[in-house]
Structure 1
Amino acid sequence: MPELHFTKGHGTGNDFVLFSDPDGEIDLSPAQLAAIADRHFGVGGDGVIRAVRSKDLPEGEAALAEDESAEWFMDYHNSDGSPAEMCGNGIRVYAKYLIENGLAELGDGETLAIGTRGGVRDVQRNASGFQVDLGRWSLDGGEPLVRAKNLKVARPGLGIEIGNPHVVVALSNDDELESADLTFIPVLEPEPQRGANIEFVVPSDPLVKDGIGRIGMRVHERGSGETLSCGTGAAAAALATRYWAGAGAPNQWRVVLPGGSLGVRMWAAEDGEHVSLSGPAELVYEGDLTI
């Protein structure tokens, strides 16, 4: 049976099992990926990330067509073994993994282009660790009703697309946020065809301090369940809150999650408004696993 050398990493508690397969020679089934991510019988993680060169993966062809400098592809799978388009925390951890293992270089002021199923994403270093340009976003997915265990009534959500689908739900206070039982999958009506990550958000009081918007959030991730943090979810939550707040709402936000805090910034680009995510990335330990 093959041996797999892996690294465990996390970004604000959103944890991943990473391994290197530059030439795309390791073909793990969804069941094997889920076994690796299993917290009782495997290494344990919210997802599994394979480091593979874009040219050696069919999905990487689109990344290279978009940006020929995207040498590396983040082959990301949720903890149930299903593939995902993007992961905002995962891509920061992935960038650190590439750098620490000598697979890529990223100096101050430089940009590292990484291929994902959601498109090429640009990563830079910053004071909090790494910043990733998540690209353009859109209001997509309508306003489905969201039912969650221990929330007495269904709440309207706001569908937002950031390379992967999200539905953001506003709650009235921290007690509601804490009471939601996210060990059960929230129900969306209607159910999106691709499913969605679901973010539950409470605005801070005051909402804006020193020009920065502030919100608290919990998340149920499609294919992984509740996680301590979700990077693209934090961006979606900040975008939704800005949308609800209306004119004059800031373009910089601090999102507080169970695993820590992340920074979100919206900014104008030639092809439309982009949103970026900032936060730490940590590599915790290495090991060997028999598949």
Structure 2
Amino acid sequence: MVPFRKMHGLGNDFVVLDGRAATLPVTPARAAAVADRHFGIGCDQFIVMEPPAPGADVFMRILNPDGSEAGACGNATRCIAALVAEERGADRVVVRTIAGELPVERLPGGLWRADMGPARLGWQDVPLAREVDTLHLPLALGPVSDPAACSMGNPHATFFVDDLDAVPVTEIGPRLEHDPIFPQRANIGFAQVTAPDRMRLVIWERGAGLTLACGSGACAAIVNAVRRGLTQRRATVTMPGGDLIMEWRESDGHVLMTGPVATSFTGTLDLEALAA
């Protein structure tokens, strides 16, 4: 039996295992079994804490519900940082993922601010299947068109719409995720700017589907909104699960994300039994 912790950031939920002391028998199939909301525990991402490389406090491995590996997850980054900070009595933690190092600091009011690193704006960085302007992709489906794309360690496309409630996200999200222009698939965001410092956002996550919140998706949304001249560099992004305070810092191009973390419950699981 393996201990686990169920955590979430704005309803974006995770099953977290600690593999720092010993290697865990985690496979894509077992991660998918745990993530299943009917036959497993249920989560948007399956997270394994692993020993860090020099310069970091913990390595965070991220697996989607379909077993694929993700390079970034902003809400999970804050959750893992909060766990490690509590262990060490620290106010600052560096979380490493396959996409790089992410410094996270504790703020008053139970909030955590993660430096998600620089947005990558080149077509090869997203990546896209061919050379196109990442500010205006030649992509349209149903009521949406003309998204902007960037990478936050994972690929994102953001569609800006006038009425978010009118977008059939569950219908077009899967088709856009798998569009041939995205050779590694993509997270698809639908954003409605409501003020220079506010926007609403719904995300269809690559490998996970519709989620209550997506930290890296909020990062991509603020970056793409600023590139389009739609918002200020600091704005509140409201998702179905709640608000994140986002900032695309002008001095170095890093994206800062501020929000809460929470633990829902703890328990133990049998990875082999769930996979079977």
The two structures have a TM-score, normalised by structure 2, of 0.87
Is 1:120 equivalent to 2:109 in the alignment?
A: no
After TM superposition, the structure 1 stretch with the greater mean CA deviation from structure 2, 10-19 or 167-176, is: 167-176
Secondary structure of the structure 2 residue equivalent to 1:181: helix
Q: Is the 8 A contact 1:97 1:283 kept in 2?
A: no
Secondary structure of the structure 1 residue equivalent to 2:222: helix
Q: 1:235 maps to what in 2?
A: 219
Q: 2:62 maps to what in 1?
A: 76
Which one of the candidate residues 256, 266, 271 is aligned to 1:286?
A: 266
Secondary structure of the structure 2 residue equivalent to 1:138: coil
Is 1:260 equivalent to 2:231 in the alignment?
A: no
Is 1:185 equivalent to 2:185 in the alignment?
A: no
Q: State the AA in 2 paired with 1:192.
A: F
Percentage identity across aligned positions?
30
Q: Is the 8 A contact 2:164 2:190 kept in 1?
A: no
Shift of residue 97 of structure 1? Answer: 2.4
Q: Is the 8 A contact 2:65 2:208 kept in 1?
A: yes
Runs of 4+ in structure 1 over 6 Å off? none
Shift of residue 113 of structure 1? Answer: 1.0
Secondary structure of the structure 2 residue equivalent to 1:287: strand
Shift of residue 99 of structure 1? Answer: 3.4
In 2, Cα distance between equivalents of 1:193 and 1:180: 21
Counterparts in 2 of 1:259 and 1:129: CA distance versus 1, 3 Å: same
Which one of the candidate residues 157, 172, 196 is aligned to 1:167?
A: 157
Q: Is the 8 A contact 1:182 1:225 kept in 2?
A: no
Question: What per-residue deviation string (whole Å, max 9, x for no partner) do you get for residues 94-135 of structure 1?
Answer: 1122234x2x4323xxx2111111100000011351000011
Name the count of aligned residue pairs.
Answer: 258
In 2, Cα distance between equivalents of 1:50 and 1:27: 11
Question: What per-residue deviation string (whole Å, max 9, x for no partner) do you get for residues 16-59 of structure 1?
Answer: 000111135113110000000100000100011111112xxxxx
Which one of the candidate residues 35, 38, 42 is aligned to 1:37?
A: 35
Q: State the AA in 2 paired with 1:285.
A: F
Q: CA RMSD in A?
A: 1.9
Q: State the AA in 1 paired with 2:156.
A: H
In 2, Cα distance between equivalents of 1:186 and 1:94: 32
Question: What per-residue deviation string (whole Å, max 9, x for no partner) do you get for residues 1-24 of structure 1?
Answer: xx1110000000100000111135
Q: Is the 8 A contact 2:57 2:93 kept in 1?
A: no
Q: 1:158 maps to what in 2?
A: 148
Shift of residue 146 of structure 1? Answer: 4.4
In 2, Cα distance between equivalents of 1:71 and 1:184: 35
Q: 2:166 maps to what in 1?
A: 176
In 2, Cα distance between equivalents of 1:242 and 1:264: 11
**Where does the alignment leave 5 or more consecutive residues of structure 1 unmatched?**
55-63
In 2, Cα distance between equivalents of 1:137 and 1:35: 32
In 1, Cα distance between equivalents of 2:215 and 2:161: 20
Shift of residue 140 of structure 1? Answer: 3.3
In 1, Cα distance between equivalents of 2:138 and 2:232: 27
The two structures have a TM-score, normalised by structure 1, of 0.83
In 2, Cα distance between equivalents of 1:241 and 1:183: 21
Q: 2:188 maps to what in 1?
A: 198
Secondary structure of the structure 1 residue equivalent to 2:226: helix
Secondary structure of the structure 1 residue equivalent to 2:106: strand
In 1, Cα distance between equivalents of 2:85 and 2:41: 23
Is 1:274 equivalent to 2:251 in the alignment?
A: no
In 1, Cα distance between equivalents of 2:146 and 2:217: 17
In 2, Cα distance between equivalents of 1:229 and 1:241: 18
Shift of residue 147 of structure 1? Answer: 5.0
In 2, Cα distance between equivalents of 1:113 and 1:18: 17
